[in-house]
Structure 1
Amino acid sequence: MNASTRDGLPPLPQQPADVPWPTKEWPRGDLPDDVDKARFSKLMNHAFAAEAPADLGETHAVVVIKGGKLVHEQYWTGFGPDVTCPSWSKAKSITHALVGILAAEGRIDIHAPADVPEWADTKDPRHAITLDLLLRMSSGLAFREDYVPEHPSDVIEMLWGAGKDDTAHFAASFPLEHEPGSYWSYASGTTNIVSRTAARAAKAFGSDFEAFMRERLFEPIGMTSATPKFDAAGTFIGSSFCFCTPRDFARFGLLYLRNGVWDGKRILPEGWVDYARTPTWQQGDAEDPYGAHWWLGIAGPGSFSANGFEGQYTVVVPELDMVVVRHGKTSLEAKLNPKAWIAEIVDCFRSA
C-alpha cells in the first residue's frame, strides 16, 4: 500500500504482484466470494432490463474492476466492449492528467498566474487566476453551466454556438463575478481554458497535441480507443469530448487508483492523484464535494470520480481496490439516481 495518507486521504493500493497490467488485455477474475451477489445481480438486472427503467434511463455499459482484474462487464443491446462511449465531462479528468504530465516536466506551474492571453495585462483582475484555481473550479469567472436548451447557457453557446471555433477564447472572455478563490462554481469553460494552457505549454495544438496525448498518456496505459475532439483553433475540448470504450475508461481509472504509476513507469507526478482527490473549499449550496477536476465521495468516503452528462461515470474506490465504469443516457430529472445506483453496486463489495 502507498504509505502516504496526506490530509487524511485513504492510501492508494498497489497492483497485486500476481496480476498483469491491462495494457493489452484485462486480466479476468470472478466476483469475490464475500460480495453480496444476490443484491448485485438484482441491481444489474434492474439497470439492464429489456425496457430501460424510468429511474436510471438507459445503461449502455458497466465495467467493474477489482484488484486489477475485470470481474464484471455488461452491455445494453447494440453496445459492447468495442463500442466507444462519450466522455462528456469525464474528459475534464483526462485534462487534469495532461496538466500533471506537463507540471512534472516543469513546463507548467499550477500556482503561478495561468498563461491566458486574454488576462495578460497585470492590471486585469483575472491576471491573478492560477491553474490551481481553474482546476478547482474556483476562478470566479461569470460562466453559467446549464444544458437545458430553453435556458440561457454559456456551455451550450461555447460547444455549439458562438464559441465553438475557439472554446478557450470564448470562456476566457468572461468577466469576474467573484474574487478568485472565494467562490466555487463548476464550469466547463474553465476546463477549455486549462486545455489551451496545456497546449501552449506543450507548444502543440490540434494533431500535434493529440500526438502528445497519445504518446504520454493513452499509449502507455493501453487506451487505444481514445478519440479526443478539437475545436477549429486546435484546442482539445477537454471539457467534454474524448470518446473511449468502457474498458479504456477503466484503464484511466486504474491509473489514478495506482497513484499515477503503470507497470513500473510513473505516468503522473508523485502527489498528483492526491491533489486530484484533496477537497476544494465550496460554499454550502454546492452539489457534491469536489477536488481538482475530479468529484469526491460518490461511492463512500475516500472515493473519487470522473462524472459526465447523462450519467457517464468512472469511479475509483481505494478502500476496495476497485474501479466502476457506467455509461448510459439518463435524463436531467433523474441525474442523481445513477450515483445512488453506483454507490449500491460498490456497497455490495463491502459485506455480504
Structure 2
Amino acid sequence: MKKQVLYFAVVIGMLSGCTVTSVDKPENNKSVVTVQGYAKGETPEKPPNYWPTMEWKTSLPEQQGMNSKKLADLFEKLDEINSPLDGLIIIRNGYIVAEKYGYGYGPERSHEINSVTKSFMSAVTGVAINEGYIKSIDDPIFDYFPDRKAENMDDHKKNLTVKDFLTMNSGLDWGELDKDRKHQFWSDFESTDDTVQFVLNKPTDPNLIGKFDYNTGLPHILSAIVQQTTGKKTADYAKEKIFDKIGITTAYWPEVQGVNQGGYRMEMTPRDMARFGYLYMNNGKWDGQQVVPEDWVKTSMSELIQTGMTGGEHYGYYFWLTTTKDGYKEISAMGDRGQYIVMVPELNLLVVQTSKAYLTDINIFEEYIYPAAESTEPIPVDAESNTRLSENKKK
C-alpha cells in the first residue's frame, strides 16, 4: 500500500485559530510551550454550550476532559499503520476535539456512507409516522401497495408490518450476508428493473421467522412508502423536515427507478454525519425544536432484537447497540467498509468515521478514544501532546 497522504485538522490548528507557541518564563529564562495561552499543567475553562447548525466549533481536548496524549498517540499510530481511514472526527460535549482526514478527503468533501443511510431512513420514517402519513408501525406493509401483486404470498408475508421492516425481522429469504449467495444476490438486486417489486416478491424462509436477518431491501420499501404517502421524494421530505433544520447541506441521496435508495448509497461530509448523530444524542431535539419525535429516537436506539453479531449484539430501528468493555452503552449507525456514526451518551461522546476499508489492526475506540475521556470537567493542559497533534496535521 502506498503511504497515505493525510490532511489532519485538530483544534489547535487552522480550524479553531488556536496557536501553539514557545514563550520564555522570566524566572528561569527557559522556553515553555503554551497552547491558547495555557502552559503545561494549567486547567482551561470549559466553553459554553452551542448548536452547530451553521458550523462546528472546536476545543482543546482538555477543555472537554479529553486526554490529548491518547489522541496524539492514536493519530500517530494511524499514520504508522497506513490506515484506510478517509475521515475521523471526535466530538465531546458538542465540540470537535480532534479531526483527521486522509487520501485527499477534508471537511468539505462528501463521502459515500453506505448503510449509515438506513439510520437516516429510520428518522424519516419516524417523522412520517408522527405527521400521520404512515399511520402506525403496526401497519401491514402490503396495505401500502394495493396496486402491486407480489409473488410468493403467504400468511406470514401478508401480515408483515412496518416494525418488522425496521427491526430486520421480516423472515424473507434475502441472503445478503450469506457468503455463498451474496455476490449473485447483489447482481440480481442491482440489475432488476424494479427494485421495489424485487423486494416484495421475496418468499418467506421459515427458518428466519422471528429472527434478525440483515436486509437492505427493507428500508428501500420504507422509502417507497414515504414517497407514496407524502407525495414527495424521500430525499426532499428529509431535507425539509430534518436536514434544513440541523444544518445538513451536503446530503446527496441517490434514487433508483424513481425511489431514493433507503438502504445505502447516500453521500455527505463527515461533519454533516455528525450533525445527525448530535441530533440523536439530544433525543431528536435541536436548538429548542423537536425535529424527530423523542419517543421515536429513544425506541430507535433501544435493544429491540438480538442480532447474534459481535460488536452489535442488539438492534433498534436501523441502529446497532453494544456494550463497551467498560460498561458503556454504544449506539451506532454503521455502513460497509467502516462508515460509522458512534454515540456513547454516558460520555457525551460522538465519533464519526469514513473509510475505504475496515480498520482491523487496532480498535481505535476501546484502545484510544474511550480511555481519553477522563473527566466530565476540564483537565490540565498537556502542551507537548497538543504540539504533537498540531504537527501531525502537516503530514
TM-score normalised by the chain length of structure 2: 0.74
Following superposition, the deviation at residue 141 of structure 1 comes to 0.6
Q: Which residue of 2 aligns with 1:341?
A: 364
Partner SS for 1:348: helix
Query: 2:249 matched to which residue of 1?
Result: 224
| Contact 1:144–1:153, Cα closer than 8 Å, also in 2 | no
- How far, CA to CA, are the matches of 2:160 and 2:173 in structure 1? 13
The answer to whether the 8 Å contact 2:70/2:369 transfers is no
Question: 1:187 & 1:147 partners in 2: Cα distance?
Answer: 11
Structure 2 unmatched ranges of 5 or more: 1-45, 376-395
SS of residue matched to 1:238:
coil
Judge conservation of contact 1:155–1:189 (CA < 8 Å) in 2: no
- Which residue matches 1:44? 75
In the alignment, what sits opposite 1:330?
A: 357
Runs of at least 5 residues in structure 1 that lack an aligned partner in the other structure: 1-15
Which residue number corresponds to residue 127 of structure 2? 101
Q: For residue 158 of structure 2, what is the amino acid of its counterpart? A: H
Partner Cα separation in structure 1 for residue 184 and residue 199 of structure 2: 12
Among residues 48, 56, 77, which one is paired with 1:18 in the alignment?
Answer: 48
Which residue number corresponds to residue 191 of structure 2? 161
Q: Deviations over 1:45-81 (max 9, x none)?
A: 22244x624xxxx111111111011111111141100
Q: How does 1:27-42 map to 2 (within 5 A)?
A: 27-32=57-62, 34-42=65-73
1:316 and 2:335 equivalent?
Answer: no
Indicate the SS of the match to 2:227.
helix
- Within the candidate set 177, 185, 195, 2:205 is matched to 177
Partner of 1:271: 295
Query: What is the CA deviation profile of residues 251-302 of structure 1, one whole-angstrom value per residue up to 9, with x for unaligned ones?
Result: 0100100100011111111211111111123364677322220011275532
Letter in 1 for 2:268: C
What amino acid is aligned across from residue 125 of structure 1 in structure 2? H
Relative CO higher for 1 or 2, CA cutoff 8 Å, sep ≥ 6?
A: 2
Distance 1:39 1:46 in 2: 10
Equivalent residue in structure 2 for 1:198, among 205, 220, 226:
226
Change (3 A) 1:17 1:351: closer
Residue by residue over 1:78-105, the C-alpha shift from the partner in whole angstroms, topping out at 9 and shown as x without a partner, is: 1100010111000000000000111111
Equivalent in 212, 215, 218 of residue 187 of structure 1: 215
Indicate the residue corresponding to 2:97 in structure 1.
Answer: 71
Secondary structure of the residue aligned to 1:250 is: helix
Letter in 1 for 2:367: E
Q: Distance in 1 between matches of 2:219 and 2:149?
A: 16
3-state SS of the aligned residue for 1:249?
helix
Paired residues of 2:311 and 2:322 also in contact (CA < 8 A): no
- Secondary structure of the 2:273 match is helix
* 1:83 counterpart = 2:109: yes
Higher strand share: 2
Q: 1:120 Cα deviation (Å)?
A: 7.8
Distance verdict in 2 for CA 1:283–1:225, change over 3 Å: closer
Q: Counterpart of 2:75 in structure 1: which amino acid?
A: M
Give the Å deviation of 1:155.
3.6
Structure 1 residues 312 and 127: CA distance shift in structure 2, 3 A:
same
Question: Do the aligned residues in 1 keep the contact of 2:343 with 2:351 (CA within 8 Å)?
Answer: yes
Structure 1 residue 167 displacement after superposition: 2.3
1:248 offset after TM fit, Å?
A: 0.3
SS at match of 2:334: strand
Is it true that 1:291 corresponds to 2:319 in the alignment?
no
Shift of 1:17: 10
Give the letter for the 1:269 counterpart. Answer: P
Change (3 A) 1:152 1:86: closer
> Residue 87 of structure 2 contacts residue 354 of structure 2 at CA under 8 Å; is this kept in 1?
yes
Q: Find the residue that maps to 1:78 and give its secondary structure.
A: coil
1:145 counterpart letter in structure 2: E
The 5 A counterparts of 1:132-171 are 132-146=163-177, 151-158=182-189, 160-162=190-192, 165-171=193-199
Alignment root-mean-square deviation, CA: 2.7
| Residue 351, structure 1, aligned to residue 374, structure 2 | yes
Distance 1:250 1:135, change over 3 A: same
> What secondary structure is seen at the aligned counterpart in 2 of 1:303?
strand
Superposed CA offset, 1:172-191 (max 9, x none)? 21011138861110111111
Which whole-Å CA distance do the structure 2 matches of 1:133 and 1:239 have between them?
Answer: 15
Give the conservation status (yes or no) of the 8 Å contact 1:147–1:156.
no
Structure 1 residues 116, 27: closer, same or farther in 2, change over 3 A? same
Q: Does 1:253 align with 2:277?
A: yes
Q: 1:286/1:19 Cα in 2 relative to 1: closer, same or farther (>3 Å)?
A: closer
The Cα offsets for residues 300-324 of structure 1, whole Å up to 9 and x where unpaired, read as 5322011001111010110111110
- Percentage of identical aligned residues: 29
Q: By how many angstroms is 1:119 displaced?
A: 7.0
Report deviation, 1:18: 3.1
TM-score scaled to structure 1, two decimals?
A: 0.83
Task: Give the direction of change, closer, same or farther, for the CA distance of 1:345–1:313 in structure 2 (3 Å limit).
Answer: farther
Per mean C-alpha deviation after superposition, the further-off stretch among 268-277 and 24-33 is 24-33
Count of aligned pairs between the two proteins: 321
Does the 8 Å CA contact 1:119/1:126 hold for their aligned counterparts?
no
